[in-house]
A and B are shown apart, each in its own frame.
Chain A
Amino acid sequence: MITLGQDELAKYPFLADAGQYLKDKGFTLEQFGSDPDLKLIVDKAVHRIEVAADGKIYKSDIVDAHAAKDASLPREVFSFLLAVVLLKLSGMNTLIKRFALAEARRAEKYLEKDLVNISERDDLAIEILRDLFYMNVKKHDENFVIPASDYLKHAVSFHEREWKLVNRRVERGLVFLTPHETVRLVRKELGDYINSKIHNATIPTMSDAFKEPVKRLNSIAKKFPTTIVSSTEYPPCIKHAIEVLEKEENLSHSGRFMLGTFLLGRGQSVEQIAPLFKNAPDYNEKVTLYQLNHLAGSSGSRTEYVCPSCEKLKRQDLCYIIPECDGIINPIQFGKKKTINA
């Protein structure tokens, strides 16, 4: 269990137990609607969400890890907690996601600073990384080291090549990272953690004082439209696999798996797909139908297999990337652009 001081709560307000914090400070949620001094904090909370919706990071009153004024520390925590209340009342998922991400980025900055200034007496950043994200970090000269297995668990969700283990300094089972890289490694988890905190918070009762700010949040959310653009063209990996078969050349087992699962994923039937394999040197109609039915989940273990990720296809030498592949992580997404609101 991480114990936090006032300074630290202002930096990492998502670690606070909201109900307990209000109680400890002697406030109720209702007071924020009625007390004019406290109402300013509601405005601050809305501002905090607006900044996040714009994709920016909320600039707090904390200067160099110390508050400008004593009073500003609780204000920082309150504005976060109230932002969560307002988001829950609005129910706008798109705003919750953006808010969680922006708050994660904000906390990331503090975590990085805290890591740089780590001392024997104060190792909160290391404690947060260990207790919240199961990452065992140790200081090593100017850098930090983490076990390679911990590194892999976190870095595996990154698509940029620089995060591959092969592009890291690895010695004796440890990966060397700068403070910035160490914290960057948990960005997604930090966002997910804040997101789940908000999702798991109970929805408070709507009071009159919150109606106006919630209405404002709803109108902000409308800024993010829903667009779905799709094309029926096949991605280059699939085109290549079809060409291989057309040329009567052998397509590897993994290539056949990719082709079968892709076409099934695009809604084609087993009977529509089977003739594609006719030119394979070892074609056997019965076996092909059996295997396709297996992939479709209509026989065997009843598991519906899905098309492998681009990352996996790269490893299997089945990827023939083109600029149109930008931003997709699975061939099935090729030609589809999607933004979903709320």
Chain B
Amino acid sequence: MHENDLKLLEETFKKYYFDHFDLIHVPPRSAEREFGYQKFNSGMIRHLTIKNDKELHLMLMNNVPSDVYCSNAYYSFPNLPMEEKDWKEANLIFDIDAKDLNLDCRNDHICKKCRSCQEVFVNLSECPNCQSKKLDQRSLTCKNCIHAVKQEVKKLFSILIDDLGIEQNNIQVFFSGNEGFHIYALNTQYEKLGSRERADLVDYLMLRGTIPETFGFKKFKSERSSFPDFDEKGWKGRVAEYLFGSKSKRSKLITKILADGYSSFQKQLEDVKEAVGIKIDPNVTIDIHRIFRLPGSLNSKSGLTKQKCENVDTFDPFSDACFIDDKPTEVLANCPSSFELKNKKFGPFKNEKVLIPKFAAIYMICKGLATSTW
């Protein structure tokens, strides 16, 4: 990263932290958690203990981190090396990210940067300048992406409550600060589960590993009455809704399923999984030693804040998570796709000097699509 960019980012991040101590707090049972942070142009520092808000704020001012993390796990000795920490339990955490939803709109706003000649472009699989295939990808998330992620969050929310018995007031939703949402389930019966058990829980939510028998199709002597119905709870009801569409079509479609045979139904369940399974990132939930972006901290991939959403429907990350000031800032921008922040559209810019609000300048610098002209 250029020195000027580094200076601007550090100064901006420091100002944000100083001005917004009210947004950044240590989570409950902080002394039992592991903290970590990263500085710009530097590696990860972890295995730290931060006991209260005062210590956290001091750390932010002293180190001006690019990213701050905290474990979802509780340990006896959080500051010791991993094998000596003595893991106790961990909150259940889910990550739903736009990059995992295979949305068509992404072709238009994933900016690709050639590692060889630094050319920036969209919609091509190789560099138009030097034909290299070694490309870095920077996504400028759009409203459609956020809308799609929110739909997944809502699906997850209702399964956590209806199927897994998690109390609504124990579920918290955060915008990740970039392209997705983090969902925390606190104080649940699942806190003590290890990775393998969480992996099975993940498969449940993603509808992975189903067998035809679960939805009524037996290898021998299948009965029409054992196929799922709309009013059934759990996956049976949801799968019935997807498979049959309406009650009037159910009988006809069961006849077809039976005629097509067991293997065909097994394949059909794969399509059902793709369509109705929740698109969480499995690795995040399975990892019980992960350190996770701290709520209220900035995401160095965008300059936006990881922010709690009280109402998922009305939450607009491009306004509600954008806290950097609007001081006019000049940057050299090479951003082939447009983006919107604080209800204002920016770009596209083709290698041009532009004077824009600081939050938009920081957003592009974080994405590697602009440099400071200081």
Contact = CB atoms under 8 A, between A and B. Distances in A.
Interface of A: 147-149, 152-153, 155-156, 161-162, 164-174, 254, 281-282, 301, 303, 311-312, 314-315
19 contacts: A148-B201, A149-B193, A152-B197, A152-B201, A156-B196, A161-B211, A162-B211, A162-B213, A164-B200, A164-B203, A166-B200, A166-B208, A167-B214, A170-B204, A170-B234, A171-B233, A173-B164, A174-B165, A315-B282
A251 to B, nearest CB: 15
Contact of A148 (B81, B164, B202): B164
Given A156-B196, A167-B211, A171-B163, A315 B202 contact: yes
A174 B165 CA distance: 7
A322 B142 CA distance: 42
A172 B81 contact: no
B358 to A, nearest CB: 33
Contacts of A156: 196-197, 200
A144 B234 CA distance: 17
B209 A167 contact: yes
Nearest to B81: A301
Given A171-B234, A281-B134, A165 B162 contact: no
Contact of A170 (B83, B133, B164, B166): B164
Contacts of B117: none
B213 A173 contact: no
Contacts of A172: 162-163, 165
Contacts of B81: 301
B207 interface: yes
Nearest to B273: A166
B210 interface: yes
Contacts of A147: 189
B209 A169 contact: no
A162 to B, nearest CB: 6
B192 interface: yes
B235 interface: yes
B199 interface: yes
Given A149-B189, A153-B197, A156-B196, 20 more contacts: A148-B190, A148-B201, A152-B193, A152-B197, A152-B200, A156-B197, A164-B200, A164-B204, A165-B201, A167-B210, A167-B213, A167-B214, A170-B234, A171-B165, A171-B233, A173-B165, A254-B283, A301-B82, A311-B199, A312-B199
A153 B194 CA distance: 8
B199 A315 contact: yes
Interface in B38-88: 81-83
Contacts of B163: 170-173
Closest 3 CB pairs of A and B: A173-B165, A152-B197, A149-B189
B93 to A, nearest CB: 16
Contacts of A311: 196, 199
Contacts of B208: 166, 315
A19 B189 CA distance: 39
Nearest to A302: B83
A166 B164 CA distance: 12
A174 B201 CA distance: 13
Interface string B292-327: 000000000000000000000000000000000000
A166 B190 contact: no
A165 B83 contact: no
B213 to A, nearest CB: 7
B167 to A, nearest CB: 10
Contacts of B204: 164-166, 170
A282 B164 contact: no
Contacts of B236: 169
A334 B194 CA distance: 26
A156 B165 CA distance: 20
A248 B125 CA distance: 15
A303 B203 contact: no
Interface string B171-200: 000000000000000000110110011011
Contacts of B133: 281
A166 B82 contact: no
Contact of B165 (A148, A165, A281): A148
Contacts of B83: 301, 303
B184 to A, nearest CB: 17
A303 B82 CA distance: 11
B203 A315 contact: yes
Contacts of A167: 209-211, 213-214
Contacts of B202: 315
Interface in B264-286: 282-283
Contact of B189 (A148, A168, A254, A315): A148
Contacts of A173: 163-166, 189
Contacts of A303: 83
A147 B210 CA distance: 21
Contact of B214 (A148, A152, A166, A281): A166
B192 A149 contact: yes
A169 B234 contact: yes
Nearest to B207: A166
A161 B208 CA distance: 10
A161 B189 contact: no
Nearest to A163: B200
B339 to A, nearest CB: 27
Contact of A166 (B192, B197, B209, B283): B209
Nearest to B82: A301
B203 A165 contact: yes
B173 to A, nearest CB: 20
A155 B207 CA distance: 17
B4 to A, nearest CB: 28
A327 to B, nearest CB: 19
A202 to B, nearest CB: 33
Contacts of B201: 148, 152, 165
A170 B83 CA distance: 35
Contacts of B200: 152, 155-156, 164-166
